[in-house]
Amino acid sequence: MTKKKICIDAGHYGKYNRSTVVPEYYESDMVWKLHLLQKEILEGYGFEVILTRSRKNTDRPLYDRGYAAEGCVLFISDHSNACSTESVDYPVVYRGYDNIGNCDELAGKLAAVIADTMGTAQAGRTATRRGSSGKEYYAVLRGARAAGLSDYYILEHSFHTNKKMTEWLLDDSNLRKLAEAECRVIAEHYGMAGEKKDQTSQTVDSGQETGGKQDGEGKQQAGTLQYLVTTTCDVLRIRSGPGTNYPIVGYIRETEGKKNTYTIAEERNGWGRLKSGAGWISLSHVERKGTSAAPQVFTPYLIETTCDVLNIRSGAGMDYSATGSISEKSGRKNRYTIIEERNGWGRLKSGAGWISLSKTRRIS
């Protein structure tokens, strides 16, 4: 099977765009590190990834960088923004001016996950910009469009004129967290999330009990880890990733005698990912209850929203944090795929989160 291919561009070369509020920061340094992390993580999901430049200090014409994405499903150019007002911190994702191929859907997911991961005060947003000729203003996007893509984006990771966000971007561990969050959204959007190779999905040598199903050669089969747990504390935080450095996105609040069971779909570094999609929990505060029953087959279906603005949440309920929104007026509605239902909520195929089905209309 041919791999899906992605092209990533580190937006600047050499030592370029020094921050006026944190002198140690250069935009070119940050985007070079970030795009290498994105490459590593996306390849772990099974994508083929190409870069527009092989060396940090080597320049390449902007149009050529975009056109390098010929044959790819996605092109992204990494940046951080700048302005004259230090309080501004929102991430923005530039996409095709005419929403070609409904490219705003993935753009919105990326803008939301960047804002959530970085903890910006202002919500992420998508934007477009056309030049005097009516075509894309940015040459790098013109090149990607000419190469035949519809999913082509400039990712502005907040503003390096905002001190708090600039210091956040200077931390390499934060960059990895950012890359992991973005790549997860991308993988889910293209149906590759189940392909990721990590501690629970890689083939491992026999000799250690892993809890996974073993094949005839004594190796763990990918994707077989799934078991039930109950919490051993009254309040357990749910985080967006496997570690205390990830933001809290919800809680499990249950007292003794009133415990529910939860399905762990993936393990990493002592953390478990909840099958519901709500996030990750520390496995040091749970008790294993055995393997889960075989899941029922769910048939995905398409919906449209029936309101102008519909919040997207990190889990199936109002008590989960908002991670973004769908903003569409009547007559200009897009279609979205629901891949799971729970308590009147539907999980979006794109990976953005959950929406209330009471404010949608099923169309297939």
Alpha-carbon distances, residue 206 vs 198, 217, 270 (angstroms): 17, 8, 20
Convert the pLDDT of each residue in 245-270 to its tens digit.
Answer: 788 878 888 888 888 888 888 888 78
Name the region of 40 (left: φ>0; alpha: ψ -120 to 50; beta: rest): alpha
Give 3-state DSSP helix, strand, coil % of the chain, rounded to 5. Answer: 25, 30, 45
What pLDDT digit, counting tens, does each position of 124-170 carry? 999 999 998 899 999 999 999 999 999 999 999 999 999 999 999 99
Least confidently predicted of 135-139, 168-172, 192-196, 235-239: 192-196
Higher pLDDT, 273 or 76: 76
Q: At what angle do helices 104-118 and 172-189 cross, to 10 degrees?
A: 150
Are 98 and 141 in contact by the 8 Å Cβ rule? The answer is no
- Other CB atoms closer than 10 Å to residue 185's CB: what's the count? 19
- In angstroms, how far is the first alpha carbon of the chain from the final one? 29
- Band (pLDDT 50/70/90 cuts) for residue 208 is very low
Task: With a cut of 80, say whether residue 223 has pLDDT above it.
Answer: no
Q: Which domains does the chain have, with CATH numbers?
A: 5-194 (3.40.630.40), 227-291 (2.30.30.40), 301-362 (2.30.30.40)
Residues 136/97, Cβ–Cβ less than 8 Å: yes
- The model's pLDDT over 99-125, given as tens digits with 9 standing for 90+, comes to 999 999 999 999 999 999 999 999 999
Tell if the pTM clears 0.85, that is, is over it: no
- The residue ranges of DSSP E strands in the chain, in sequence order, are 5-10, 48-51, 74-81, 92-94, 125-127, 152-159, 227-231, 235-239, 248-253, 262-268, 271-274, 280-282, 286-291, 301-305, 309-313, 322-327, 336-342, 345-348, 354-356, 360-362
